[in-house]
Structure formats: C-alpha cells, structure tokens
C-alpha cells in the first residue's frame, strides 16, 4: 500500500507541532512535507521583549530545515498561494503539491480596519510579527528622543478624539482633564492621578511566634 502524503502549511508552533507529531506517530505510513513562507521558527511570546532591547531576533528564532530534516520531513521554503480542494493540490510560489491530508497552520493576520487609527499607518503599534516588533521598537526610541512629537502631541492636536490614543495610565498630569475617546465612543473626562503608595503595614506575628516569645520570656 502506498504511503499517504501529509502536507502541512505553516512552520511555526502549529505547523511544527503537527508535522513532528504526525511523523512520529505514523512515520512508516506517511510522507510529511511542510510548506512555510518563513524558513525560521519564531518564538512569538518573546516578541514583547524585542522593542525594548531585551531580546535580539537571533535570540528567538532558529532555522526550520535542519529540524525537519532530522525527523525525515521534507521542508519547502515557499508561500502557499491557493488551495484546490477538488484536485487535492496546493499551489505555492515554488510549484504545485499534491496531498492526501492537508493541515493548515498558517497563523493569523491582524484586522486593522476594525478600529480607525490602528495599524502601521495609524497611531498604534503591534508585535504580531518580527517586522512589527522591530517597527514598534523604532517608535519607542523615537518617543524617548522627542516625546513632544509622539502621542502627547497627538492628544493635543485638533481632531484627537477621532484617533486611537494611549491609555490614561502613565500620562503626565497635564492630561488629567483631556476629553479623549477612541473610535467614536462617548467622550468622557479622563482623570489621571498618581495613587499614593499605601503605608507599610507591620507584619503581625502568627500565634506560633507569639507563643515562642512568651515561652522565652517566662
């Protein structure tokens, strides 16, 4: 009996896990092939550290091909462009690939059109991809170099209420009475006050400690 062809689209968490699991469980019955637009695995949870210089791109990625090859999985560095369900084929920038079983683990995309002002051309950053995180880091550094040209200037500009603006937490005191809202919400005053730190409370000893002191004094 011929071996079944398993085709996996995507090489990050979902695709990598699916390909390795299928190959391990059904290795003698299937041929596994992975098609991925990226030739490197990206550890997405660590993208949050990239804009602040806590991680470098090389710290949170590794090449996919050696990992797949060590498990007998064929890796194709290409972008899938179309799926033909009737003929059980996937068209990619490197050619057409047939399959008996198809696993789609291509990830997700942000829908920036949901809220006016989001996205690369708006007033907000995202860290969905490596490129996004690098771009966010550039914006972060620009803010520290010249804060007056960043979000505070946007907040005071005409029509600011129609923009996506930062959260109130961490704003300077001058923003306390700003009448700001996001995406057409009802305007409301945002008051920012730094909460005073509560006074330190002495830790009360538990009964065991009290008994121990009493026994020492007796």
pLDDT tens digits along 108-159:
888 888 888 887 777 788 899 999 999 999 988 888 887 665 555 555 555 5
Task: Kindly tell me if the per-residue pLDDT of 81 is higher than 90.
Answer: yes
Higher pLDDT, 93 or 214: 93
Average pLDDT score, the chain: 77
Higher pLDDT, 70 or 204: 70
Compute the distance between CA of residue 105 and CA of residue 131 in angstroms, rounded to an integer: 20
- pLDDT for 178: 35
Percent of the chain with pLDDT over 70: 67
- pLDDT for 78: 97
Closest CA to 191 of 212, 215, 174: 174
Distances (CA, A) of 95 to 4, 76, 77, 79, 91: 20, 10, 11, 10, 6
Closest CA to 182 of 162, 168, 167, 166: 162
Terminal C-alpha separation, the chain: 88
- pLDDT for 166: 45
The single-letter DSSP state of residue 40 is E
User: Contact, 123 vs 164, CB < 8 A?
Assistant: yes
- What 152-161 contacts at long range (C-beta under 8 Å, 24+ apart), as own/partner pairs, is 154/123, 155/180, 161/187
Domains of the chain: 4-104 (3.50.50.60), 110-163 (no CATH)
pLDDT band for 93, please (50, 70, 90 cuts).
very high
The single-letter DSSP state of residue 206 is P
- pLDDT for 155: 57
166 phi/psi in degrees, rounded to 5: -65, 160
Higher pLDDT, 98 or 216: 98
φ/ψ bin of 119: left (φ > 0), alpha (ψ from -120 to 50), beta (otherwise): left
């Amino acid at each position: 009996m011929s071996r079944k062809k398993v085709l996996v689209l995507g090489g990050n968490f979902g695709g990598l896990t699916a390909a390795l699991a299928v190959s391990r469980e059904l290795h003698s019955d299937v041929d596994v092939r992975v098609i991925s637009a990226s030739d490197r695995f990206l550890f997405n949870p660590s993208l949050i550290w990239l804009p602040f210089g806590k991680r470098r791109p090389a710290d949170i990625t590794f090449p996919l091909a050696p990992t797949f090859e060590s498990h007998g999985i064929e890796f194709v560095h290409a972008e899938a462009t179309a799926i033909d369900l009737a003929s059980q084929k996937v068209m990619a920038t490197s050619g057409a690939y047939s399959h008996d079983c198809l696993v789609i683990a291509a990830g997700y995309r942000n829908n920036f059109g949901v809220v006016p002002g989001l996205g690369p051309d708006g007033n907000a950053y995202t860290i969905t991809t490596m490129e996004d995180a690098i771009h966010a880091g550039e914006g972060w550094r620009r803010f520290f170099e010249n804060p007056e040209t960043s979000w505070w200037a946007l907040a005071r500009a005409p029509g600011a209420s129609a923009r996506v603006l930062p959260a109130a937490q961490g704003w300077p005191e001058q923003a306390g009475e700003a009448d700001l809202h996001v995406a057409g919400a009802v305007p409301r005053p945002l008051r920012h006050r730094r909460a005073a730190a509560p006074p330190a409370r002495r830790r009360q000893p538990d009964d065991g400690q009290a008994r121990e002191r009493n026994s020492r004094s007796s």
